[in-house]
Amino acid sequence: MALWNASLNQNMLHEMTSPFATEAEALVLSWLAPYFGMQGGHLCAGSSVANLTGIWAARDVAGVKTVVASQAAHLSVEKACRILGLEFVVVPVDGRGRLNREQLPKLDDACLVLTAGTTATGSIDPLDLAGVAKWTHVDAAWSGPLRLSPAHAARLDGVEAADSVAVSAHKWLFQPKDSALVMFRDLMAANAAISFGGGYLAKPNVGVQGTRSAAAIPLLATLIAWGREGVAQRLDHLMRVADLLADEIEKSDYLELWGRPETAINVFRPVGSTAAAFVQAVPAGMLSTCVLNGEIWARSVAANPSVDANLVVNSILAASHEDA
Ligand SMILES: *Cc1c(COP(=O)(O)O)cnc(C)c1O
């Protein structure tokens, strides 16, 4: 699909140069947005752009002056504040990596950014806070697609009260890069604020990008081929793989688990040695690292639905023995 799409090379800037892709995008949004309580939106290059777009709408629809997010929020949130000239206010996290609601400032003039699946630990901020600020943007770049899984959708309950939501389709919707969604609860109001007309455009250009790829076409193909059920099966499998790895780490005398995985991200380290050296001892590309409270931890992200869970578990256990 990606190859065929590349050969068509349609440009989403202009409806007349992308008749099928425009239809495909409308269809994909009409299927996915309701899972998040949103009316619709558009595709963009990634959730960095989706976060920028959501916070841009917060500024120009709701007139927010500040953006409040936890210290575990993705760097693209601070980046968006810098670009948009908004003040960025950081709130500490609790012991589980979630925004600490006790330490929230006043939110009357603020956009509250809640993360569903933080980059380092996969933690989900308290989404029942959606709606308490002037504007709520949920960064569901990583775990948003769990809304399609009956087994796990409830983890993101509350998201439907947000004003805007970002989801990276090139993460847990298994798309080629670059593919993400930005969605809005009041689509008309948001689009009015983030659109620009122009002589040569039949319709206004919506969002940050001008020319963009027809990422909706492979996404539409995936959704038709697998259905909601097929996406959910893969996500449920990856959640189980992460749980299995967590079980094995908890049983091991050589490894220490940071906490049970919320969204299939395991954070752990060898007991009494550094994670940086340990990560070098497993096959390249299997693990990454993250820094929590100034300490380096190893991080395993269950992103590949074809993963051989035993291979991952055995490689990690073997490396921890060698390391010891
Ligand atoms: C990956 C990620 C982003 C950035 O998304 P890109 O698609 O890489 O631009 C933002 N927020 C979170 C929580 C992420 O996991």
Q: What is the pLDDT of residue 200?
A: 66
Residue 178, preceding bond cis, omega within 30 degrees? yes
Q: How far apart are CA 255 and CA 110, in angstroms?
A: 41
118 Cα: distance to centroid of ligand 1 (angstroms): 9
Q: What is the pLDDT of residue 120?
A: 97
Q: Is 70 in the pocket of ligand 1 (CB under 6 A)?
A: no
166 Cα: distance to centroid of ligand 1 (angstroms): 9
Q: Is 76 in the pocket of ligand 1 (CB under 6 A)?
A: yes
Q: What is the pLDDT of residue 67?
A: 98
pLDDT 10s digit of each residue in the chain, 324 long?
999 999 988 888 877 888 899 999 999 999 999 999 999 999 999 999 999 999 999 999 999 999 999 999 999 999 999 999 999 999 999 999 999 999 999 999 999 999 999 999 999 999 999 999 999 999 999 999 999 999 999 999 999 999 999 999 999 999 999 999 999 999 999 999 999 986 666 688 999 999 898 999 999 999 999 999 999 999 999 999 999 999 999 999 999 999 999 999 999 999 988 888 899 999 998 999 999 999 999 999 999 999 999 999 999 999 988 755
Which H helix or E strand runs over 315? helix 309-323
Task: Note the pLDDT tens digit of each residue in 72-96.
Answer: 999 999 999 999 999 999 999 999 9
Q: What is the pLDDT of residue 199?
A: 65
Q: How far apart are CA 70 and CA 116, in angstroms?
A: 12
Domain ranges of the chain: 2-226, 227-323
Q: Which residues lie below 8 Å from residue 37, measured CB to CB, with a gap of 6+?
A: 159, 160, 161, 162, 185
Task: Note the pLDDT tens digit of each residue in 135-175.
Answer: 999 999 999 999 999 999 999 999 999 999 999 999 999 99
Lookup result for tokens 């291979």: 311
Query: Of 172, 175, 132, whose CA–CA distance to 152 is shortest?
Result: 172
CATH class for the domain made up of 227-323: alpha beta
Instruction: Out of 115, 138, 168, give the residue to mutate to test ligand 1, the one with the largest number of ligand atoms within 8 Å of its CB.
Output: 168
Q: What is the pLDDT of residue 201?
A: 64
**What's the CA angle centered on 193, arms 25 and 22, to 5 degrees?**
15
Q: What is the pLDDT of residue 203?
A: 80
Q: What is the pLDDT of residue 16?
A: 80
DSSP bridge pairs for 114? 138
Query: For the structural domain made of 2-226, what CATH number should be given?
Result: 3.40.640.10
Task: Note the pLDDT tens digit of each residue in 102-126.
Answer: 999 999 999 999 999 999 999 999 9
Q: How far apart are CA 131 and CA 114, in angstroms?
A: 11
Q: Is 263 in the pocket of ligand 1 (CB under 6 A)?
A: no
Q: What backbone phi and psi angles, to 5 degrees, belong to 38?
A: -100, 155
Q: How far apart are CA 54 and CA 75, in angstroms?
A: 15
User: Considering the entire predicted model, what is its pTM?
Assistant: 0.97
Q: Whose CA is nearest to atom 7 of ligand 1?
A: 46
